[in-house]
Amino acid sequence: MMRAVELFAGAGGLGMGVSRAGFKPVEIVEWNRYCRDTLRENHDQGAELVRDWPREVRGDVRDVDFSRHEGKLQLISGGPPCQPFSLGGKHRAHTDARDMFPEAVRAVRQARPASFIFENVKGLTRASFQSYLEYIVLQLQYPEFVAQPDEDWSEHLRRLERHHTGRRGDAGLEYRVVWNVLNAADYGVPQRRERVFFVGFRSDLGVEWCFPKATHSREALAWSQGPNGDYWDRHRIARKDRAVTPAMARLAETADQPEGILPWRSTRDEIGDLPDPERAPAAAREYANHLFQPGARAYPGHTGSPVDEPAKTLKAGVHGVPGGENMGVWANGRLRYFTVRESARLQTFPDNFVFQGCWSEAMRQLGNAVPVKLAEVVAKAVGDALPANARAA
């Protein structure tokens, strides 16, 4: 059994992907009470994957001592709160008390896991955060090289840089760290969601690793909707109703036919078999969290997600998010909000996973989640790379 600890678990997307990849979370940490309720309720109802998790979900990560896991973990994973780095935030980064990367580093320092996976929003890679991104990577590489009392983060960064360039021999606990921005759509998730992943292996393990290759592409979807037409045939869409967007049509004309790679999955691919919650509410109620939410409308800059492409990135802001990311737009121009169940599918959560709280709270949980499928792909590549002596509990 490969043991893991899940930090900043949220609604459990990253943790469920880790579980599907063969790890068993032995401790879960999440401060938000609605998320804790969601995880506990699904545990008690025997939902897929989380039924084998610990029922107790720890609250504030700052109150958790991870040293009791020292030498026992194959993985620590988590998504440190990303508000300091999101495009919609105030961009305070290292001055923001919500920045939990220092706690992620502390967990690694105390538990000394064989590997770790941390993820965050793509905004962290912007030029304005370049120095702090380097600071995060160097802290993860040398977790025992801690900041001194009252030391400014930039001074600590300079000491880390000197340590990194001048180290000789044993540098203490050290990890080989790589990071990359992954688009979930490139790995079979029906959503264009870009996240930055940090993956590290303890240096004594001698692991050589790279991020998994993409398995799906936009070009393949364009060919499937254009020259091949098998996308429309599969969904039994009449020729008169086959609405290829101009961008996809141009791509099909200019791109070579992809070989050995699958088409991006569209919103229709993922939710097309669900009953329409507005037109067939009785049938829709047979699915958990699949209730019609009124009030969707389009206006400039708020246009929703075309259902024959991967959805735009689901957002936690619900009604007011720019771009209308939480709405679907059908070929006939019809527009409505995605239900919680539809949004869960777009995040590749299983259908028996039920979200607690009102629609807006459930959508907040989903908007902050990691797609289960993307987490599984990354975690499986990490688990497969661990040597036998590191895989034993």
- How far apart (Å, rounded) are the C-alpha atoms in residues 218 and 263? 6
Residue 48, exposed/middle/buried by CB under 10 A (0-12, 13-18, 19+)?
A: middle
Indicate whether 283 belongs to any domain: no
Q: How confident is the model at residue 151 (pLDDT cuts 50, 70, 90)?
A: confident
Predicted pLDDT at 91:
44
Indicate whether 71 belongs to any domain: yes
Indicate whether 227 belongs to any domain: yes
Same domain, 196 and 249: no
More confident residue, 236 or 128: 236
Same domain, 41 and 183: yes
Write the pLDDT tens digit of every residue in 275-328.
999 999 999 999 999 999 998 888 887 888 999 999 999 988 655 555 567 899
What CATH number should be reported for the domain holding residue 53?
A: 3.40.50.150
Predicted pLDDT at 192:
96
In angstroms, what CA-CA distances link 196 with 79, 118, 126, 181?
A: 10, 8, 11, 4
Same domain, 229 and 179: no
DSSP letter assigned to residue 68: G
- How far apart (Å, rounded) are the C-alpha atoms in residues 5 and 53? 10
Same domain, 137 and 28: yes
Indicate whether 337 belongs to any domain: no
Degrees to nearest 5, angle at CA 214 with 118 and 192: 70
Indicate whether 222 belongs to any domain: yes
- How far apart (Å, rounded) are the C-alpha atoms in residues 13 and 72? 23
Total domain count, the chain: 2
Same domain, 163 and 235: no
Predicted pLDDT at 164:
92
Write the pLDDT tens digit of every residue in 74-117.
999 999 986 555 545 554 545 556 678 899 999 999 999 999 99
Tell whether the model's pLDDT for residue 345 goes beyond 90.
yes
Same domain, 23 and 107: yes
Same domain, 127 and 243: no
Predicted pLDDT at 227:
84
Q: Which domain holds residue 135?
A: 2-214+370-391
* Max CA pair span of the chain: 69
Q: What is the mean pLDDT of residues 260-268?
A: 96
Q: Which of 35, 82, 210, 358 is catalytic?
A: 82
Which residues neighbour 16 within 8 Å (Cβ) at sequence distance 6 or greater?
48, 49, 50, 349, 350, 353, 372, 375, 376
Predicted pLDDT at 48:
84
Write the pLDDT tens digit of every residue in 14-68.
999 999 999 999 999 999 999 999 999 999 998 888 889 999 999 899 999 999 9
- How far apart (Å, rounded) are the C-alpha atoms in residues 51 and 56? 12
User: Cα-Cα-Cα-Cα dihedral of 288, 294, 295, 298, to 10°?
Assistant: 70
Same domain, 210 and 221: no
Q: How confident is the model at residue 389 (pLDDT cuts 50, 70, 90)?
A: confident
Do 264 and 185 contact (CB within 8 A), yes or no?
A: yes
Same domain, 114 and 156: yes
Same domain, 94 and 238: no
Active site residue 82: yes
Predicted pLDDT at 257:
82
Indicate whether 356 belongs to any domain: no
E strands along the chain, which residues? 2-7, 23-29, 57-58, 75-78, 115-121, 175-183, 194-202, 216-217, 262-263, 305-306, 327-329, 335-337
Write the pLDDT tens digit of every residue in 362-372.
999 999 999 99
Q: How confident is the model at residue 242 (pLDDT cuts 50, 70, 90)?
A: confident
Indicate whether 82 belongs to any domain: yes
Predicted pLDDT at 221:
95
- How far apart (Å, rounded) are the C-alpha atoms in residues 174 and 206? 11
Same domain, 81 and 225: no
Predicted pLDDT at 279:
94
Report long-range pairs for 335-338 (Cβ below 8 Å, ≥24 apart).
335/296, 335/297, 335/298, 335/304, 336/278, 336/292, 336/293, 336/296, 337/293, 337/294, 337/295, 337/296, 338/271, 338/311, 338/314
E strands along 313-376, which residues? 327-329, 335-337
User: Rounded mean pLDDT of the chain?
Assistant: 90
Predicted pLDDT at 351:
95
Tell whether the model's pLDDT for residue 241 goes beyond 80.
yes
Same domain, 150 and 229: no
